[in-house]
Amino acid sequence: MKKVFIIIIGLAIGAFANHTMSQKIFNVLNIAEKLSEQNKGKEFLALLKKIEKRNMNKYEKSYILQTRANYYLSKNKYKEAGKQYEQIISINVFKRQNIERMKLSLARIYLYSQEYKKSIKLLNSLKNSKYITKEILYENLILATYYSKNYLLSIKYSEKYFSIVQAPQESFYKILYSSYVEIKDYSNAISTLKIMIKKWSNNEIYWVQLASLYEKKGELKNTLAVLDIANKENILKSPDNILYFISILHQSKIYCKAAIVLEKGLIKGLIKKSKRNFELLLSSFFNSKQNAKFVKLLDTSSFAKEAKYQLILANIYYKKQKFEKSVKVLKQIKVKPELSEYGDKNIQLALNYYAKDKKSECIKYLELAYKNSFSKKRAYNLLVQLDPKRKI
């Protein structure tokens, strides 16, 4: 805050020397500085309001407005500061370079206040300025046009900005990329992202955004290639991004690698152990024909305790003629009699006992299955095959 007032008092001294400010106004500014430094905002504003009631020349009026603007800026009251700048610019007695710098400040305030049209208009008035650099001008025009959703114009100013700046800020690459995405110019968005990845190669977001753009263009091979490189370079850290890579591997039918990536993520704790991820890993094992891992996961995972998974496990043991294991798994399944899994469980138990030549046990479980509406017909057919004369 003190630096701000050093500038103001410096201007006042020069102005006073040129007979543009009275000694009284000069003294008021000194008192105002002290009040502001003491955080006496009410007294500060009251003093300026009181002195404004006197007859003042345009210079004095402008300096008072400037003093109040600086105070408002120090308090982050940008709209109030902007109103002071508007009056100073309207009075227009300061040197051209000071007015133009003030216009730039006001344009930024408009930008902050989301008054984008006003900001753009003011910035355009500075295009031929000798005191505002093209770099600063284009930076503000890029922001104002982008946030006003005039993406084509934002791209135009971005191109001018990049043509004159040796080391463009990263944020302006982001805006250019985003502008291309907004107008669905994915080819140029991809080109921009490639430049960004060269400059900031460890930025995980850029790699995933590039992959996503290729996917939008229907170029799944390129999507896969980008994510594969990012994974190999240990750039993919976010659980969502790793799962996105696994999803693309599934779409590409590369199930074995999907299983490897998912297992690695689970072991390292990068991916949460959840039912959804359990099912994804199970699917990866199944589709890649990793039967031993598929069975082991069904046998050991806490997420595999549901009836539907245990029925699958029991059926695998049955097909491998491991009837004791199959029966053991089936008998541990607890399910309500009215559910379809109840019928499936008893049908499988019956088949296991039939394979073990235990006809009575087989009939016992078929009769239980017959009581279930979902398995009634199948149980009846099996019972008839066992005993064609049997009446149910």
If asked whether residues 246 and 258 sit together in one domain, one would say: yes
> Does any domain span residue 216?
no
If asked whether residues 311 and 256 sit together in one domain, one would say: no
If asked whether residues 298 and 310 sit together in one domain, one would say: no
If asked whether residues 376 and 290 sit together in one domain, one would say: no
For the stretch 170-176, contacts whose Cβ atoms lie closer than 8 Å and that sit 24 or more positions apart, written own/partner, are 170/196, 170/199, 170/200, 172/139, 172/142, 173/199, 175/142, 175/143, 175/146
> Closest by alpha carbon to 142, among 164, 171, 114?
171
Tokens 């630096």 belong to residue = 3
CATH of the domain at 359: 1.25.40
Specify whether the backbone of 151 is left (phi greater than 0), alpha (psi in -120 to 50) or beta.
alpha
> Closest by alpha carbon to 288, among 261, 312, 267, 258?
258
> Does any domain span residue 350?
yes
For the stretch 159-166, contacts whose Cβ atoms lie closer than 8 Å and that sit 24 or more positions apart, written own/partner, are 160/134, 161/135, 164/134, 164/135, 164/138, 165/135
C-alpha to C-alpha distance for 197 and 45, rounded to whole angstroms: 51
Last residue within a domain, chosen from 255, 285, 304: 304
Residue 390 pLDDT: 67
65's CB contacts (< 8 A; 6+ apart) are 84, 85, 87, 88, 91
Please give the residue range of the domain that contains residue 70.
1-94
> Does any domain span residue 231?
no
> Does any domain span residue 168?
no
Residue 336 pLDDT: 94
Last residue within a domain, chosen from 63, 94, 125: 94
If asked whether residues 313 and 381 sit together in one domain, one would say: yes
What is the token pair recorded at 204?
């995980």
> Does any domain span residue 111?
no
Last residue within a domain, chosen from 261, 281, 304: 304
Residue 70 pLDDT: 87
If asked whether residues 300 and 321 sit together in one domain, one would say: no
If asked whether residues 375 and 315 sit together in one domain, one would say: yes
If asked whether residues 5 and 73 sit together in one domain, one would say: yes
Could you tell me how many helices (H) and strands (E) the chain has, helices first?
22, 0
If asked whether residues 283 and 309 sit together in one domain, one would say: no
Residue 327 pLDDT: 96
Residue 188 pLDDT: 97
pTM for the predicted model, two decimal places: 0.81
Cα–Cα–Cα angle for 255, 257, 261, nearest 5°?
A: 115
If asked whether residues 264 and 343 sit together in one domain, one would say: no
87's CB contacts (< 8 A; 6+ apart) are 61, 65
If asked whether residues 309 and 389 sit together in one domain, one would say: yes
If asked whether residues 299 and 310 sit together in one domain, one would say: no
> Does any domain span residue 213?
no
Dihedral over Cα of 304, 309, 310, 315: its sign: negative
pLDDT by 10s per residue, the chain, length 392: 333 332 333 343 343 334 477 788 888 888 888 888 888 889 888 988 888 887 888 988 998 898 899 889 888 999 999 999 999 999 999 999 999 999 999 999 999 999 999 999 999 999 999 999 999 999 999 999 999 999 999 999 999 999 999 999 999 999 999 999 999 999 999 999 999 999 999 999 999 999 999 999 999 999 999 999 999 999 999 999 999 999 999 999 999 999 999 999 999 999 999 999 999 999 999 999 999 999 999 999 999 999 999 999 999 999 999 999 999 999 999 999 999 999 999 999 999 999 999 999 999 999 999 999 999 999 999 999 887 766 66
> Does any domain span residue 145?
no
The model's pLDDT over 334-365, given as tens digits with 9 standing for 90+, comes to 999 999 999 999 999 999 999 999 999 999 99
> Does any domain span residue 64?
yes
Q: How many domains does the chain have?
A: 3
